[in-house]
With several copies, the nearest count.
Chain A
C-alpha cells in the first residue's frame, strides 16, 4: 500500500522534509501502525512521534485518530496542534 505523507510546521522542520511517498510494509493498516513505523526510524522521528510531544494526524484532509484505516493512495498529514486564528 502506497501513501503520501505530509509534514507541517515544527515537524516539517525537524524531519527535514515536507512530503514523502511511502510503500508501507504488509500488516500496516491503521494510522497507529503508520506512526509506529515512522517512529521506528529513531532519532527525531522517535522523539517527535513516540515521546511526550503532542501531534495530530489528518487522513485525506480530515482530522483522524489512531484507529483510522489507511487505504492505497491515502494522504496522511502529521503536524503539531494547530495555532491559527
Chain B
C-alpha cells in the first residue's frame, strides 16, 4: 500500500450507516456535497436484490451483520480509498434485515474534483466492501432459508487493486 498523503484525509467527509430503512439517493448526494464547491464529480453505486441472483423460488433476502465492527470496517474502507484518490467525501449506507427483489441493499457515494478518481474510488470501495465488511446474506425459499456462499470472484476483484498503480490526479481536470 502507498504511504499516506496526510493532506487528503482530513479534507474528506466520511459518512457510514447500517440501517433497515431504505435510502434516498438524491438526499444523500445533497448531504455529501453541501457547502463544498470544489466537488466536480459524484459517483454512486446502488446494489439491488435481483431475481436471477435468487435461484429458483427465492422470495426474500436477509442480511445479518456484526454491529460495531461493521461501521469500523466501512470507515476503514473509505479511508483507504481517500489515501489512494483525492476525495472530497464518501458515503456508505448498507441495509440489513429482510429485503425483496428490487430493493436496494447498498449505496456508495464518492465525491471528488475529478471524474476518474470518483469512478475508481467507488469501484475500489465496492470491491473491498464485498470482502472486508462483515455482512452475510441469507436467501429465503419455500424450502427454507440458506446462507449465500462467498464468491471467489469477489476476492479476486478486491485483490486486483493491490496491483493498481496510483495515477496522478493534478488540477488539469474539473470533473
Contacts and interface: CB of A to CB of B under 8 A. Distances in A.
B39 interface: no
B150 A9 contact: no
Interface string B80-105: 00000000000000100000000001
SS of B interface (majority): mixed
A80 B136 contact: yes
B138 interface: yes
A9 B64 CA distance: 7
B106 A9 contact: no
A9 B145 CA distance: 12
Nearest to A6: B66
Interface string B117-142: 00000000010011111111110000
A17 interface: no
Contacts, number: 76
Interface residues of B, number: 30
B64 to A, nearest CB: 5
Interface string A3-33: 0001011100000000000000000000000
Given A79-B136, A83-B135, A10 B66 contact: no
B63 interface: yes
Interface of B: 47, 63-66, 68-69, 72-73, 94, 105-106, 115, 126, 129-138, 147-151, 175
